[in-house]
């Protein structure tokens, strides 16, 4: 797996989680690429439901997606962390 491209998705919000799940199922499962998700939290909750959580009509923990468990099921890696900088390496064609 050393020579595989490594795709890193930063942020497990709705878009990031959808992307990393799709890439994991398509590329990670077939060992065509290494796919990773980096997020500052351990779980995802669908943000449009937060008003119900605040009102007390919905239990947040029963509607959370655990990133580690989801990663195992969908063939990607999860790393707890934050993006603190970006270094671009440009190779001449």
Q: What share of the chain is helix, strand, coil (3-state, %, to 5)?
A: 40, 25, 40
User: Which range of residues forms the domain containing residue 33?
Assistant: 5-80
Number of domains in the chain: 1
Question: 76 in a domain, yes or no?
Answer: yes
Question: 48 in a domain, yes or no?
Answer: yes
Question: 34 in a domain, yes or no?
Answer: yes
Question: 87 in a domain, yes or no?
Answer: no
pLDDT of residue 91: 80
| CA–CA separation, 90 and 93 (whole Å) | 9
Question: 47 in a domain, yes or no?
Answer: yes
Res. 1: pLDDT tops 60: no
pLDDT of residue 48: 64
The pTM for the full model equals: 0.79
Question: 33 in a domain, yes or no?
Answer: yes
| CATH number of residue 38's parent domain | 3.50.50.60
In the chain, the N- to C-terminal Cα span, in Å, equals: 25
| CA–CA separation, 25 and 7 (whole Å) | 13
Q: What is the pLDDT of residues 20-70, one digit of tens each?
A: 999 999 999 999 999 999 999 999 877 666 677 677 776 666 678 999 999
Question: 86 in a domain, yes or no?
Answer: no
């Amino acid at each position: 797996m050393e020579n595989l491209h490594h795709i890193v998705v930063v942020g497990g919000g709705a878009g990031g989680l959808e992307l990393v799940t799709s890439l994991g199922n398509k590329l990670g499962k077939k060992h065509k690429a290494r796919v990773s998700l980096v997020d500052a939290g351990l779980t995802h909750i669908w943000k449009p439901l937060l008003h119900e959580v605040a009102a007390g009509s919905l239990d947040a923990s029963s509607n959370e997606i655990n990133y580690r468990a989801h990663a195992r099921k969908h063939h990607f890696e999860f790393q707890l962390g934050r993006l603190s900088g970006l270094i671009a390496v440009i190779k001449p064609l």
